[in-house]
Chains A and B, each alone.
Chain A
């Protein structure tokens, strides 16, 4: 594409069309742009447009298109063509900085992003003059330009905050420091001066403070990895100015907005972060400044209001104090009783209060409220920060702090008692203080596991918590109800069991509360109580104790799902699952109604699955219903199939991706419940399961393999007789899986089931091909994981078809191949096999090779006999070799079994471990001894002589132990 007016015109037309709401116009335009983006000059045309177009909308559109183009194409990927020609790259780098700086803010942001994407690839080596070009602009005096530079620098440097130390990274930082640190410091000083000369000019101040925020952020990035020499030398300048900025206030910068943090708050908040960074990492150098910052930040906290816009600032500031107060050499800054009292009164208590914003969230945004309050995703909230500060202070001052707060709790409870309907927030604060202060160690599963002496927890429970929950109306003072329920949840390990049993009907009752928070908390509390462990590792609360409440519990739980706002409430669904699991067979009478409600729910949510946890627990509940019922009455499986298959079919037909892995798991569970030959309804589905499209989604692979294994286990004969034409399809699946490093173990699961269950005749014709495929993969990419699976497979094959058959099939592929496999794979790698069953399979297989394979005794393979025996003894006696070659470490996380984000395994659809040699061989060591004995009787003298010539002494000793244990001798 030439840089011509005509092309600019064309591009303008198409860009305009990409903004059209009508997809019929928009899509072709997008396609067109994609088709020409490989052409030379395309990016330069975009840059021309975003600079010179007459229409603002085209300018913006061109800038966005440009940034996306850079994002997709700038990186040069090895083995892939370079998507942007060199001259365009050079031209872009030469022009983009000035262009960015002269553009209006909207476009500036896009170009700044583009610069940082390019910078990530090219800076510093391939873009050496970027820094000087940027730094030179600091002198322009134009803060629009300066902020553009600072923003770009921030996006270039912020990665220093999280990357690992390396020579490459540090050379880059050094380069940046050399060019940037001094100008940045000068700019910092100049900006602060300008702030005082423009102290009365609101619009100037806004621009200047935006610069200061960016400068403070850059300070954080540049100081993150280590304390640079320059900043150590200039600490006085930076810290003195940071300190005075912390104490600065200017009416002109205060905002009316209650929610959104203003510039002043953002700046101070970043300064708190910077001070915290220095306090943590560079304590030695920062020590002289620290007390000043403690005082300033403390004053800041005392004078900052309750508005939401201050939240980040306040929580950062409190976190700073919290991290400092637990350091031994700063203990003295907090020691004084007056100081402690004042921190408690003025910093901690005010920030624990239930604010209007909390009340609003409680009512209107309960999901968010619950997430913060219950799941601890409140890391940035004031309450949380206040709690952390309390915990920090308790490290050295537990006694005094507890004393101060006990007084507070009592006075607040008295206030409440005077007039509950007005003063209920005082009680809320009191409960919050108790729950946060009394808890030193808290877990989701067990609640508080250690408490301090602030209050008597049981007394408090009986006197202040239960009365609220016993009140006639479940809807009165919802916040206090939620507090009370939370109290039960948190202190469930401290409160005696009798009290918990008294609470259970109260909790069940609160499932009916209108407030989402209240009924959610009730469900959650029940769920938590039901998981508590008593003695002997049984549940603390037994099914018998729950007997009187089964019906009302189930009714209220399912009714709670119909309350407004809770139709997909994961806490309720989890409580349902947990109730089933606890109550076991006492739910059977209610199953017909339960399963109807669950299938209806399933049908409803499958239209638009949006709550993964809810869905997960729903499927778990379905599995539990099936298990519990079929355990008592195996024939009931049919009625479940009847109830579920219609919905399942719909899910499969509509391709509801989120649910398909679950459906396969439930089907596997159902199929495994059948004792007889596979029902025809399943066989009808069989061909569909082999469709390649299903196998393209990684999340489907584990449950589908599992399902096919169930088919093979229950219906191998039926497949062989009625669906033999599908066997190539089945092997096709195997072939696809085996080719992938991530999924090869799944391929082996399938292959092992085929070998184990299919009648030999039905797979005869494919056997050699299978081995060839395995060898090809071995040659192309040999990984430890593959080897491990491969070893298990060949030994299983040996067990099933005999050692001779194994030797013959290898040697039919290529002469002497069997010897090579023994020497290069089995003997050196067998120690890597992991898993009890897997090791047993290998032991039995190798025993067969040693004792039932004539070529091992009288061909050139004989020299491998003792090494193989020694390897087998090693497998028995040596620890597993879990080393992984260096180059494979990277597949460690991604590709090992068990790690599959897209696959959600259902615990209650779990597969029992299957041991294919279970009945045949009990103790593989004894089995080896007996087999050797048999071999030695067949050819007397041979075995002892082979042993004595080359088996090492230690192995021989072990072997003698086996022979003794089996009471046999070798002839």
Chain B
């Protein structure tokens, strides 16, 4: 009703919930090294699996010059075609500096694509598919060469090839193409990659099951879920989700990991898309996976759930109902800083919720975890912890904020006023103001002043009055003038 609408509006002092809940990536420019724990976007096939290439024998391997390759590939002798294609594939599969640009310059891609359609020559199809896979695994330019060479339709047809190794190599190639970005991902979806791909998952049941193959499929699926601007079409997402849900309960951890990554991409988006994921009912499983001892599983599961709690209050509630708060404390103390950080980020988004969710944080004992993060956590996790406190003090009731203070949050929070990060310092100052508002409501302003001073906060705030950042210095000055000026 109108009244509760209004109360809701007042509770967060007019700040939009969306502004409190912080989506991933505030800044699109990165100074850092690309993150090591991200999922790989493109992969080259450098393994030499002998059993798949019976025709080949290391001993009488023939080294062909590039000119000779062009000649043979364009020629009509099937044996030479195979030999040259294989030689190309080997060049592209070598461990160091594969000559991708050189091969592209040979202009043989259209011909390799054509080989994909030679249904009666599975070895040639396989070698061509492998070579193209490795070209597509390079830069965007390289991938483009493959796509513009017309490889997409034949690769999709090959998904249904009776030869399993050909089909698997095609899955891999398509994964690389999908991983290039939203444009090619959508090209694949438009070319109807999904039905045959998903059918493969169904076919891959014992006795035909091969774990490597299913890993490849899962990875390709994850690339089809990946990337924003635009997101993958809703229809496609809805087609993939049931399969992904099944993959999440697989016993192979790499499959589970890639399925989690896929879900994490789908949830890194707008609330209506998060809702589709929530509706599948996989949150309890994801939360369970957050507790996995394997970093490869825990990392994407945490991300997926972390994304869900950026959503609406109801979506966040679904994550809470799935047991999120039970697993967070351990993750908040995880030795790996990025895990700490992601967990603290999730916590900050729960703290941005309505007060009954904040209450759950309290009753689940998360305050002491939050205190620990602020006190001893890695700097990145500490920053997220500061956001959590800030959100908590914005949305929490007076009693809840008092609980936060009683949990001892103030000391580590005030210590972080020394952080070498202006934004965090400003947020802490704003949070201190929020604490003061609560203290005033309780008629405890004096006691709170005392507490801040005792904990060494006052001297730090005073020192911030000479901060070079205008907003920081003003906020500090404002607190000093309002609460600590002489009598």
Q: A-side interface residues toward B, CB under 8 Å?
A: 159, 161-167, 170-171, 173-174, 177, 224-229, 232-233, 277, 280-284, 327-328, 376, 379, 441-446, 449-450, 574, 613, 616, 620, 878-884, 893, 898-899, 907, 952, 954
Q: Which of A170, A284, A884, A898 contacts B482 (CB 8 A)?
A: A898
Pairs of residues from A and B, 5 with the lowest C-beta to C-beta distance, nearest first:
A883-B14, A441-B454, A443-B453, A162-B468, A170-B29
Specify which chain B residues have a CB less than 8 angstroms from the CB of A443 in the assembled complex.
450, 453-454, 458
Cβ–Cβ < 8 Å partners of B10 in chain A: 878-882
A441-B455, A443-B453, A445-B450 given; A281·B420 CB < 8 A: yes
| Chain A residues, CB < 8 A from B421 | 281
Q: A280 and B31: CB pair below 8 A?
A: no
Separation of A174 and B456 alpha carbons in the complex (Å): 37
A376 to B453, CA, bound (A): 12
B96 within 8 A of A: no
Q: Which of chain B's residues have a CB closer than 8 A to the CB of A882?
A: 10, 13-14
Q: Is B33 a contact of A232 with CB atoms below 8 Å?
A: yes
Indicate the member of A170, A173, A281, A283 with the most B CB atoms within 10 Å: A281
Interface status of B330 (Cβ within 8 A of chain A): no
- A883 and B13 in contact (CB under 8 A), knowing A224-B420, A443-B458? yes
B2 pairs with A284, CB closer than 8 A: no
CB distance from B371 to the nearest CB of A (A): 14
Q: Using CB atoms, name the residue of chain B closest to A874.
A: B6
Scoring B residues 429 to 461 as 1 if CB is less than 8 Å from chain A, else 0, what string do you get? 000000000000000000001100111101100
Q: Which residues of A contact B486 (CB under 8 A)?
A: 574, 613, 616
- Report whether B31 and A954 are in contact in the complex, using a CB–CB cutoff of 8 Å: no
Q: Which of A280, A444, A881 sits near B419, CB closer than 8 Å?
A: A280
- The residues of B that contact A229 with a CB separation of less than 8 Å are 31-34
Residues 124-156 of chain B, each 1 if its beta carbon lies under 8 Å from chain A, else 0: 000000000000000000000000000000000
- Cα distance A573–B12 in the bound complex, in angstroms: 45
Given contacts A162-B469, A283-B379, A879-B7, contact A379 B27 (CB under 8 A): no
Q: In the complex, are the beta carbons of A449 and B450 less than 8 A apart?
A: yes
The answer to whether A173 and B472 have CB atoms under 8 Å apart is no
**A284 and B378 contact, Cβ closer than 8 Å, known pairs A170-B27, A224-B420, A376-B459:** yes
- Asked if A171 and B468 make an inter-chain contact with CB atoms under 8 angstroms apart, the answer reads no
- Chain A residue nearest to B337 in the complex (CB): A284
Q: Which residues of B contact A (CB under 8 A)?
A: 1-3, 6-7, 9-10, 13-14, 26-34, 337, 376, 378-379, 419-423, 426, 449-450, 453-456, 458-459, 462-463, 467-469, 471-472, 474-475, 478, 481-482, 486-487
Which B residues are in CB contact (< 8 Å) with A880? Answer: 10
**What are 12 A-B residue pairs whose CB atoms fall within 8 Å in the complex?**
A165-B27, A170-B29, A226-B32, A228-B32, A229-B32, A232-B33, A379-B459, A441-B454, A450-B454, A881-B10, A881-B14, A954-B2
Asked whether B31 lies within 8 Å of A952 as measured between CB atoms, the reply is no
Contact residues in B for A881 (Cβ distance below 8 Å):
9-10, 14
Contact indicator A163/B422 (Cβ below 8 Å)? yes
Residue of A nearest to B34 (CB): A229
Nearest-Cβ distance from residue B35 to partner chain A, whole angstroms:
11
CA distance in complex: A91, B468 (Å): 32
Q: A162 with B422: in contact, given A280-B379, A283-B337, A379-B463 (CB under 8 Å)? A: yes
How many angstroms between the C-alpha atoms of A880 and B379 in the bound complex? 38
Complex Cα distance, B28 from A327, in Å, reads 31
Among B3, B6, B472, B487, the most chain A Cβ lie within 10 Å of the Cβ of B487
List, in ascending order, chain B residues with CB within 8 A of A162's CB. Answer: 422, 467-469, 472
In angstroms, Cα B422 to Cα A159, docked, is 11
| Among B13, B26, B376, B420, contact of A328 (Cβ-Cβ < 8 Å) | B376
Q: Is A164 a contact of B454 with CB atoms below 8 Å? A: no
* Shortest Cβ distance from B12 into A: residue: A883
Question: Which of B379, B420, B449 neighbours the largest number of chain A CB atoms within 10 Å of its CB?
Answer: B420
A956 to B14, CA, bound (A): 27
Closest CB in chain A relative to B78 CB, distance in Å:
48
The interface residues of chain B lying within 8 Å CB-to-CB of A376 are: 459, 462
State which of B2, B14, B422 has its C-beta within 8 Å of the C-beta of A164. Answer: B422
A residues within 8 A CB of B456?
Answer: 441
A777 to chain B minimum Cβ distance, whole angstroms, is 24
Complex Cα distance, B458 from A445, in Å, reads 12
Q: Are B6 and A226 touching (Cβ within 8 A)? A: no
B487–A170 contact, CB under 8 A? no
Q: How far is the CB of A107 from chain B (nearest CB, A)?
A: 27
How far is A231 from B6 in the complex, measured between Cα atoms in Å? Answer: 51
Tell whether, in the assembled complex, residue A446 and residue B450 are in contact, meaning their CB atoms are under 8 Å apart. Answer: yes
